[in-house]
């Protein structure tokens, strides 16, 4: 597809890197010719120098023939106006990044009346991700599927866990309503079968019925979860606008440390039930003064990935129950011992995944609608949720009779709101939500999960 992106900043760059792997024709609009030149050297894109709200610049970028227009500049107003112009010129699908709360609060109105298909707010998305991992205390990553009713949950296998050195088939026998769909070990992601053995330090991704989750967490060596009652937040990020009210609604007391005096004052006025401290939260003396060890949660949300990592490590060593660390450059994690960190979130990665899902949905056929898409921490393995129509070409065939492409696994089938852990005798039917794990992130259509000989006649 022909896709035009406005804004070659950090988010725009990540979006371009993500979409170029999909085989699309990409054009970037940016005011800075150096930004365009640098990106052209990195990825195979076209570039137009100019303002995204300039009609002639958009025409030069061939917006009028674009299937997708993505406005990802740092300026909300530029993004919205450029998208309106793109719609008038003929762009088919509009994705717009906004960060101002006023725009986000009017999302429904903006989408309905301005012709914008999808609004991105990475701060709100990051807050939602944080709440997900707080709601599952033993989890280090949570990704919702099936309209937020099912969750892919990542859990560390602790050293003294009773399932260390056990076969997965034996674990399934003891906790049958849990399916292990991926194992992360030494930086690699593996799709396990029943003969795989879990080791201490492994991270496993599981789907499970809610009532079986606690049994698995305990088996993996985690203590029975206690309710979180306090959170120390380092950094006055805009994420806090969406996060703090939800923490308070869950009965979690919050204290926030912010170095910028004006920002600290603004947050104190907005959140009167939060203790706002004007100080340097990355200073160990300040953390000790605030008794970091007494908090259940430590959230590091500054603009510096390095400082977030160091503060979280310090807090974990001090005795914090759970650390949540914002890192937009995952490559940094390899430089430290991240086994001491609980949760590492990348807001930009989550947004790029959301954009990828929308773009793939547009490109995919009606027989296999892509409902959701997320990458695991290795950035290669993808989890995809497809909704099957009567036109799907691999219906009514038992799974045991199919030959799947290498690196693929059917993780879960949701049928009429019921979670089905697939067996060889199961078959797909119209209306199924099917979750697929793909270690190479190569699948674009559900029909492609098997080799051609397994498809129904008439393909």
Q: Is 226 exposed, middle or buried (0-12, 13-18, 19+ CB in 10 A)?
A: exposed
CA distances to 13, 309, 324, 423 from 338, in Å: 26, 9, 12, 36
369 near 423, Cβ under 8 Å? no
**39 domain residue, yes or no:** yes
CATH of the domain at 385: 3.30.70.1450
Spatial separation of the C-alpha atoms in residues 203 and 6, rounded to whole Å: 37
Residue 354 forms part of a structural domain: no
Task: Please indicate, yes or no, whether residues 284 and 392 belong to a single structural domain of this protein.
Answer: no
Which of these three, 321, 349, 377, is where a domain ends?
349
Range of the domain at 442: 365-448
The strand order across the sheet containing 150-156 reads: 139-145, 150-156, 203-208, 178-185, 188-190
Q: Is residue 19 part of a domain?
A: yes
**Assigned domain for 357 exists:** no
| Confidence at residue 149, expressed as pLDDT on a 0 to 100 scale | 80
Q: Identify the CATH number of the domain in which residue 17 sits.
A: 3.40.50.720
- Contact criterion met (CB below 8 Å) for 346 and 14: no
Same-domain status, 12 and 58: yes
- With respect to residue 432, please indicate whether it lies within any of the assigned structural domains: yes
**335 part of a folded domain:** yes
Query: Do residue 102 and residue 7 come from a single domain?
Result: yes
Of 153, 186, 220, the residue at which a domain comes to its end is 220
Q: What is the DSSP letter of 426?
A: -
**Given this model, what pLDDT does residue 443 score?**
86
- Alpha-carbon distance of 288 to 297, in angstroms, equals 15
Q: Is residue 10 located within the same domain as residue 110?
A: yes
In this structure, are 185 and 146 located in the same domain? yes
Residue 67 shares a structural domain with residue 38: yes
Integer Cα distance of 376 and 293 in angstroms: 30
Provide the whole-model pTM. Answer: 0.88
- Report yes or no: 155 and 204 within 8 Å, Cβ to Cβ: yes
Task: Assess whether 10 and 107 both reside in one domain.
Answer: yes
Please check whether residues 328 and 380 belong to one and the same domain: no
**Number of folded domains that form the chain:** 4
One domain, residues 407 and 440 = yes
- State whether 249 and 334 are in the same domain: yes
Pairing of strands 418-420, 118-120: unpaired
In a domain, 273, yes or no: yes
267/369 same-domain check = no
Series of mean pLDDT values for 10-residue runs along the chain (459 residues) = 95 92 93 95 94 97 97 96 97 95 90 91 94 93 86 92 94 89 88 92 88 90 90 97 97 98 97 97 96 97 95 95 90 69 89 89 72 82 91 90 89 89 91 92 87 51
284 and 182 fall within a common domain = no
Residue 358 lies in a domain: no
Question: What pLDDT shows up at residue 457?
Answer: 45
């Amino acid at each position: 597809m022909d896709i035009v992106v406005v804004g070659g900043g950090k988010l725009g760059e990540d979006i371009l890197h993500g979409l170029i792997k999909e085989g699309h024709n990409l054009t970037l609009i940016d005011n800075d010719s150096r930004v365009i030149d640098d990106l052209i050297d990195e990825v195979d894109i076209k570039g137009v120098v100019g303002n995204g709200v300039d009609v002639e610049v958009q025409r030069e970028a061939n917006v009028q023939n674009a299937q997708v227009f993505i406005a990802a500049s740092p300026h909300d107003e530029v993004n919205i106006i450029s998208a309106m112009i793109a719609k008038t010129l003929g762009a088919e699908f509009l994705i717009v990044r906004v960060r101002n709360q006023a725009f986000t609060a009017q999302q429904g109105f903006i989408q309905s009346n301005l012709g914008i298909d999808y609004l991105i707010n990475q701060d709100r998305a990051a807050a939602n991700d944080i709440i997900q991992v707080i709601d599952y205390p033993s989890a280090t990553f949570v990704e919702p599927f099936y309209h937020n009713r099912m969750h892919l949950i990542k859990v560390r296998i602790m050293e003294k866990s009773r399932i260390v050195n056990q076969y997965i088939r034996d674990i399934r026998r003891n906790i049958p309503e849990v399916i292990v769909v991926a194992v992360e070990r030494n930086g690699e992601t593996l799709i396990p079968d029943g003969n795989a053995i879990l080791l201490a330090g492994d991270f496993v991704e599981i789907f499970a019925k809610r009532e079986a989750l606690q049994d698995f967490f305990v088996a993996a060596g985690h203590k029975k979860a206690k309710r979180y009652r306090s959170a120390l937040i380092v950094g006055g990020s805009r994420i806090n606008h969406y996060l703090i009210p939800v923490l308070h609604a869950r009965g979690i007391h919050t204290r926030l440390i912010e170095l910028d005096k004006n920002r600290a004052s603004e947050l104190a006025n907005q959140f009167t039930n939060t203790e706002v401290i004007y100080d340097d939260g990355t200073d160990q003396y300040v953390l000790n003064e605030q008794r970091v060890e007494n908090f259940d949660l430590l959230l590091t949300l500054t603009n510096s990935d390095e400082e977030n990592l160091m503060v979280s490590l310090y807090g974990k060593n001090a005795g914090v129950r759970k650390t949540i660390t914002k890192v937009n450059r995952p490559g940094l994690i390899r430089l430290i011992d991240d086994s001491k960190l609980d949760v590492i979130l990348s807001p930009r990665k989550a947004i790029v995944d959301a954009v990828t899902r929308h773009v793939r949905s547009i490109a995919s056929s009606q027989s296999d609608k892509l409902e959701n898409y997320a990458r695991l921490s290795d950035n290669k393995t993808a989890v995809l949720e497809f909704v099957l129509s009567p036109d799907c070409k691999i219906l009514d065939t038992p799974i045991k009779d199919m030959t799947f492409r290498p690196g693929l696994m059917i993780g879960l089938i949701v049928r009429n709101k019921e979670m089905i852990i697939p067996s060889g005798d199961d078959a797909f039917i119209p209306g199924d939500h099917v979750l697929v794990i793909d270690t190479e992130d190569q699948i674009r259509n559900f029909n492609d999960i098997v080799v051609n000989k397994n498809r129904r006649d008439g393909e």
